[in-house]
Structure 1
Amino acid sequence: MANFALGGSRALINLLWQKSSSPFLRNMSWLGASELFIRITRLLTVIVLARLLKPYDYGLAALVLTTNEFVDVFTHNGVWAKLVQVDAKDLKNFCQTAFWLNWLICGLLFIVQCLVAFPVAWFYRDNQIILPICVLASIYLILPISLVQAALIQRENRLHVSAIISGLQNLIASILSVVLAFLGFGMWAMVLPRVLVAPIFVVGNYIYHDWRPSRILTVKHWQEIIKFGQTILGIELLNTLRNNLDYIIVGRFLGVQALGIYYFAFNAGLVLTLSVASAIDRALFPHLCDARTNLKQFRCRYLSSLKTIAVVIVPLILLQSSLAPFYVPIIYGHKWIAAIPILILICLSGIPRPFATAASLSIWALDKPHWDLAWNFFFTAIFALAVSIGTHWNILGVAAAVLLIHVTALPVYTFRVTRYVFRRTVY
């Protein structure tokens, strides 16, 4: 009887969930749960690494991972977004073209990252980073196997699959990082797990979607994909530059030791917030694309996303930043006390970021990514100027500059995009 009642309760809960929840909320819940799980495992990993690794190790890892970020951004070239956005009648042909384009792009990225390792090592005056940069490049040799499948899973709003794969990847990566740190691998504890868990993404997406490429090599729609993707790529390049520019400047002008402290503050502070925001954003883009021909519904979904961000993100950031002086020395150790004010400033800079990202996704869905590209050019330029000025007051000045530029510029952009969405009369 108890089993019957339990089974009936579960069925009722599932039915109510399906009836009362929108696809956006269900997808956001899956991704949010995945990100929460990932954050918990990563938090434990950061605690262990902070106690086992030195700031210099963190600095070296930051240089390696930052270099990889700049190369990896070319995998966010708009091919994925085009497969999510394209009309159903054209999807089959676009998938075939995207498959071969992905192999071409990733093959070139492998070569580029290996070659760029040498000038990067020269720029930072440390040859220890050459080998790990080249090792990370090996990921590009397997990614194209299932990039199309991953995009189709997102298009079909089956983001619970993406959440499961991502959660499994990060759990295993966290375990490997802790093990390698205990074994004395230094910066490799933060680098090598990324390579070792890459097959999980490939195999997982390949299994969970039945699309398979034909043996015919074709790039029939490459011009349409590139035309759409070049703007997206430009935006992603500028985002990546902006997200890593402070690391580049700190590492070059303030040294690897200072970079290690700054990188720790970022990972212990803002990454938690951005991961929650990422769950919302990944669910939001297909949600908005699905309503792009219905003005009233589009506005409703966009406004709802802003409200969700306000309710979830803002309290989380305020709580985390206010408690930083208490939990940092207890959890991470007293050697990171110097990072507390940097952590607080960077954490607070996360408040306007997800609102601006939601605004960007809304105009992507409306086929106006070039507007977002123009904005990103402007914002990246003033961000670079602010961070450069901030270096005159060491890493605390850099963190203050990051906060100031985000809380002044991003709300203006979000407001202007929102006003456009609600004043627009025709799609």
Structure 2
Amino acid sequence: MSAASNVKWVAVSQTARIVSQLANIFVLARILPPSDYGLMAMATVVTNFALLLRDQGTSAAIIQKEGLAHNTINTVFWFNILVGVLIAIIIMACSPLIAGYFKHSELINILLMLAIVFPISSSSISHQALLERESKFKKLAFIELTSSIIAMVVAVIAALNGAGVYSLVLQAILMALLSSILIWITSDWRPKGKPTIGELKAILPFTGHMTAFQVITYFFRNADSMVVGRLLGAVSLGVYSMAYRVMLLPVQNITWAASRALFPVMSRQQNAPDEMGKLYLQTLGFIAFLTAPLMAGIFSVREVFVEVAFGQQWLQVSSVLAWLTPVGFMQSISSTTGTVFMAQGKTKLLMWVSLFNAVLHLLAFWLGAQHGVSGVAEWYFYASVISGLISLRIAGSLVNCSAIQMLDACIRPLAIAVIMSVVLRAIYWHSLGMWWNNVAALVVLTSLGITIYFAAYYLFLRETFNSYLSKIFKNKTA
């Protein structure tokens, strides 16, 4: 399956996730208070870290390894099961300490329930990696769509029946269970035979540095929640985490989709850096084409967007989004660098780059917290720009891409998105009080923004615009 077809089916899956996430946010945010989201965000700080340790970089190793034997997969499978069980035990044992750190005793029960996710999800890591290695993204798209929708519906029903924060916990558990069951049904591979230490040692040079990278990345992606939760409290963390979830949309659902689809293809081209570079530049341009208007649009209508989407109890989210939307664009571009490092087997270099980024972000979050939750978002922006430019420059050098080439791939969609944002912002401020309701204002401004962006793109960059459309329709039946 081609890279374009891979991207298509991953995009289908991620589009479904976006719709599910937005529906989930819009519905549950009107049922659950910010404090419930704050409690779940505190628990997520722990579970996200555990998710990284659960994998240990083994799924990436299965995808990247040129020659893959059954015994290697079998060893990885049993290793992941062991790690998943150990993580569950550790979380259960440490839950009182974690609750004490955040000063919320209810976290104990939440963490005890969430711990079950790890042995469940660990059982399908190898199977999913094999499906991705074989580029079976169409099947994975169905699995992820089905499990996310069912889990979302159950969570909403639970919230409506007074489950509170436990509706979010139930959603996480059900999502892991359904995904694992469906992945096992879809994959033909089954564990057979005993695991061997030799097979595990053979992939350690790759997985060891990969795990270190993931752990470091976890800390700088979650240090903001740790700082806000500790210094500013659950309500502030609930506000920040809601804005953060909106910001993550392009990173998780566009960049992650592209990176996930491209990794198997780039791994097969690991000895042809020029070809990898060409593919990478095309990917950067396409991601910027999608994320620049999305983030600029949310920035432009953030006040009315928050009130319509979440309700008046979440109005403070808009001030945080003012800084996190440009962070979202920057990270949608810079987050692609991990794929380049992994495909080239440069996980040690990736680890050191991520260590620098982690220190930079941790310092920024601490400085920002002195000025409240919006201050954290502001300093996050400064750190993201610096770390993003450095990561892109280093990754580009591995695939023979110059800084000028990468800038050229991103600058034009960004410039058009900025123009669109200026126009929308001017219209918004000059029309305050003229709309009969906020929904109408949001619909009109969003439609106008889409029209301005794509019309300008077609007018000034017609060839590029047409090439994107042709690729989409060319692969429609792929």
Q: TM-score w.r.t. structure 1 length?
A: 0.90
The reply on whether 1:274 has 2:274 as its aligned counterpart is no
The reply on whether 1:71 has 2:50 as its aligned counterpart is yes
2:331 corresponds to which of 338, 353, 377: 353
1:407 corresponds to which of 385, 394, 407: 385
Bigger shift: residues 374-383 or 316-325: 316-325
**Alignment partner, residue 29 of structure 2:** 50
Q: Are the aligned partners of 1:46 and 1:268 in contact in 2 as well (CA < 8 Å)?
A: no
Q: Pairwise CA RMSD of aligned residues?
A: 1.7
TM-superposed deviation, 1:93: 2.2
The reply on whether 1:99 has 2:77 as its aligned counterpart is yes
What letter matches 1:357 in structure 2?
A: S
Hey, what's the Cα distance between the residues in 1 that align with 2:380 and 2:109? 31
Hey, what's the Cα distance between the residues in 1 that align with 2:273 and 2:42? 45
Q: Are the aligned partners of 2:63 and 2:133 in contact in 1 as well (CA < 8 Å)?
A: yes
Hey, what's the Cα distance between the residues in 1 that align with 2:166 and 2:63? 36
Hey, what's the Cα distance between the residues in 2 that align with 1:372 and 1:365? 11
**Alignment partner, residue 458 of structure 2:** none
Q: Are the aligned partners of 1:96 and 1:219 in contact in 2 as well (CA < 8 Å)?
A: no
**Alignment partner, residue 390 of structure 1:** 368
Hey, what's the Cα distance between the residues in 2 that align with 1:119 and 1:161? 41
Bigger shift: residues 319-328 or 369-378: 319-328
The reply on whether 1:255 has 2:233 as its aligned counterpart is yes
Q: Are the aligned partners of 1:146 and 1:202 in contact in 2 as well (CA < 8 Å)?
A: yes
SS at match of 2:72: helix
2:17 corresponds to which of 28, 38, 55: 38
1:178 corresponds to which of 156, 174, 184: 156
The reply on whether 1:82 has 2:61 as its aligned counterpart is yes
What letter matches 2:171 in structure 1?
A: P
SS at match of 2:29: helix
TM-superposed deviation, 1:80: 0.6
Cα deviation 1:121-166 (Å, max 9, x = unaligned): 1111111011111111112223343221111001011112222111
TM-superposed deviation, 1:329: 0.8
**Alignment partner, residue 418 of structure 2:** none
The reply on whether 1:422 has 2:404 as its aligned counterpart is no
Unaligned runs of 5+ in 1: 1-21
SS at match of 2:197: coil
> Alpha carbons of 1:355 and 1:254: their partners in 2 closer, same or farther (altered >3 Å)?
same
What letter matches 2:19 in structure 1?
A: I
**Alignment partner, residue 283 of structure 1:** 261
Hey, what's the Cα distance between the residues in 2 that align with 1:294 and 1:29? 24
> Alpha carbons of 1:248 and 1:218: their partners in 2 closer, same or farther (altered >3 Å)?
same
What letter matches 2:217 in structure 1?
A: N
Q: Are the aligned partners of 1:101 and 1:219 in contact in 2 as well (CA < 8 Å)?
A: no
Q: Are the aligned partners of 1:317 and 1:351 in contact in 2 as well (CA < 8 Å)?
A: yes
Hey, what's the Cα distance between the residues in 1 that align with 2:28 and 2:87? 30
How many aligned positions are there?
A: 402
Hey, what's the Cα distance between the residues in 1 that align with 2:283 and 2:212? 25
- The runs of at least 4 aligned residues of structure 1 exceeding 4 Å deviation read none
SS at match of 2:328: coil
Hey, what's the Cα distance between the residues in 1 that align with 2:314 and 2:152? 21
Cα deviation 1:36-70 (Å, max 9, x = unaligned): 11111221121121111111111111111221111
**Alignment partner, residue 23 of structure 1:** 2
SS at match of 1:29: helix
> Alpha carbons of 1:176 and 1:423: their partners in 2 closer, same or farther (altered >3 Å)?
closer
2:144 corresponds to which of 147, 166, 171: 166
TM-superposed deviation, 1:268: 3.3
Q: Are the aligned partners of 1:265 and 1:340 in contact in 2 as well (CA < 8 Å)?
A: yes
2:359 corresponds to which of 367, 376, 381: 381
Cα deviation 1:159-213 (Å, max 9, x = unaligned): 1222211111211121122111111111112111111232222121112121111
Hey, what's the Cα distance between the residues in 2 that align with 1:423 and 1:343? 32
The reply on whether 1:198 has 2:176 as its aligned counterpart is yes
Hey, what's the Cα distance between the residues in 2 that align with 1:297 and 1:140? 38
**Alignment partner, residue 223 of structure 1:** 201
What letter matches 1:81 in structure 2?
A: A
SS at match of 1:318: helix
What letter matches 1:101 in structure 2?
A: F
Q: Are the aligned partners of 2:54 and 2:122 in contact in 1 as well (CA < 8 Å)?
A: no
What letter matches 2:145 in structure 1?
A: G
Unaligned runs of 5+ in 2: 403-478
Q: Are the aligned partners of 1:50 and 1:332 in contact in 2 as well (CA < 8 Å)?
A: yes
**Alignment partner, residue 108 of structure 1:** 86
**Alignment partner, residue 212 of structure 1:** 190
TM-superposed deviation, 1:272: 4.9
Q: Are the aligned partners of 1:97 and 1:220 in contact in 2 as well (CA < 8 Å)?
A: no
> Alpha carbons of 1:139 and 1:270: their partners in 2 closer, same or farther (altered >3 Å)?
closer
Q: Are the aligned partners of 1:45 and 1:178 in contact in 2 as well (CA < 8 Å)?
A: yes
TM-superposed deviation, 1:360: 2.2
> Alpha carbons of 1:257 and 1:295: their partners in 2 closer, same or farther (altered >3 Å)?
closer
- Percent identity among equivalent residues? 25
TM-superposed deviation, 1:35: 1.2
Cα deviation 1:357-378 (Å, max 9, x = unaligned): 2222112111111111101111
SS at match of 1:210: coil
SS at match of 1:213: coil
Hey, what's the Cα distance between the residues in 2 that align with 1:227 and 1:27? 28
What letter matches 2:64 in structure 1?
A: Q
TM-superposed deviation, 1:270: 3.0
Q: Are the aligned partners of 2:74 and 2:193 in contact in 1 as well (CA < 8 Å)?
A: no
Q: Are the aligned partners of 2:337 and 2:395 in contact in 1 as well (CA < 8 Å)?
A: yes
Hey, what's the Cα distance between the residues in 2 that align with 1:417 and 1:390? 29
SS at match of 1:214: coil
> Alpha carbons of 1:399 and 1:28: their partners in 2 closer, same or farther (altered >3 Å)?
same
Cα deviation 1:326-380 (Å, max 9, x = unaligned): 2211221112111101023112101121322222211211111111110111110
What letter matches 2:126 in structure 1?
A: V
**Alignment partner, residue 15 of structure 1:** none
Hey, what's the Cα distance between the residues in 1 that align with 2:333 and 2:239? 28
The reply on whether 1:310 has 2:284 as its aligned counterpart is no
Q: TM-score w.r.t. structure 2 length?
A: 0.81
> Alpha carbons of 1:219 and 1:205: their partners in 2 closer, same or farther (altered >3 Å)?
farther
TM-superposed deviation, 1:423: 7.1
**Alignment partner, residue 299 of structure 1:** 277
